[in-house]
Amino acid sequence: MVLVDIRETKSVKASDIFLQIRPGKDFEVITILRALVKEQPVDESQVQETGLTLEQLQDFVDRMKKAKFGVFFFGMGLSMTRGKHMNSAALLTLAAELNAFTKFVAMPMRGHGNVTGADVIMRWQTGYPFAIQFGRGYPRYNPGEFSTVDLLVRGDVDAALILGADPGATMPQPAIDHLARIPTICLDPKVTHTSRLSRVHITTAATGISAPGTGYRMDEVPLPLRPALKSPYPTDEQVVRRIHEAVLKKPDWLQQGNRMALNQV
Partner 1 sequence: MLRITGGKVYDPLHGIDGQIRDICIHDGKVVDSVDGGRTIDASGMVVFPGGVDVHTHVAGGSINFARAMTPEDHRRTVAFIRSQTTRSGLGGMAPTTFATGYLYAGMGWTTVNEAAVPILSAKHTHEELRDVPIVDKSCCVLMANNEILLDLLEQGEMERARHLVAWQIWAAKAYGVKAVNPGGVAAWKWGNDAKQMAETVPGYTSLTPAKIVTGLAQIIDELGLPHPIHLHCNNLGAPGNISTTLETMKSLDGRRAHMAHLQYHSYGGDDWSTMRSEAPAMAEYFNQQKNLTCDAGAVLFGDTVTITADGPWQHLLYKLTGRKWGNLDVENETGCGIVPYTYRPSNLVNAVQWAVGLELLLLIDDPWRIFLTTDHPNGACFWRYPEIIQLLMCRDFRQECVTQLSEKARERVHLPDIDREYSRFEIAIITSAGPAKALGMPNKGHLGAGADADVVVYDEDEDIARMFGHPRYVIKGGEIVIEEGDIRATPEGREFLVQPSFDREIEDFLRPLFEETYTMSFENYPVEMHRIERPEISECIDVST
By CB under 8 A, name the binding residues for partner 1.
Answer: 68-69, 96, 99-100, 102-103, 105, 120-121, 123-129, 134, 136-141, 214, 216, 220-224, 252, 254-262, 264
Q: 111 vs 127, which CB is nearer to partner 1?
A: 127
For residue 183, give every residue at least 6 positions away whose Cβ sits within 8 Å of its Cβ, in sequence order, or none. 158, 159, 160, 199, 200
Q: Which is nearer to partner 1, 63 or 181 (CB)?
A: 63
Smallest separation (angstroms) from partner 1 to the CB of 128: 6
Taking the complex as a whole, how short is the minimal distance between the CB of residue 227 and partner 1, in angstroms? Answer: 14
Give me the least distance between CB of 92 and partner 1, in Å please: 9
Q: Decide: helix, strand or coil at residue 207.
A: strand
Alpha carbons 31 and 63: distance in angstroms, whole number? 17
Least distance to partner 1, CB of residue 20, Å: 30
In this complex, which beta carbon is closest to partner 1, that of residue 43 or of residue 219? 219
Query: Which element (helix H / strand E) includes 167?
Result: helix 167-170
Strand, coil or helix: 77? helix
Under 8 Å CB-to-CB from 75, ≥6 apart: which residues? 108, 109
Q: Give the shortest CB-246-to-partner 1 separation in angstroms.
A: 18
CB pairs under 8 A, 24+ apart, for 8-16? none
Q: At residue 233, what is the residue type?
A: Y
Q: Give the nearest distance from C-beta 106 to partner 1 in angstroms.
A: 10
In 3D space, the residue among 68, 72, 50 whose CA is nearest the CA of residue 2 turns out to be: 72
* 121 CA to centre of own chain: 14
Measured between alpha carbons, how far is 120 from 112 in angstroms, rounded to an integer? 15
Q: 8 or 220: whose CB is closer to partner 1?
A: 220
By beta-carbon proximity to partner 1, the closer residue of 92 and 149 is: 92
- Residue 84 three-state SS: coil
Identify which of residues 136 and 154 has a Cβ nearer to partner 1 in the complex.
136
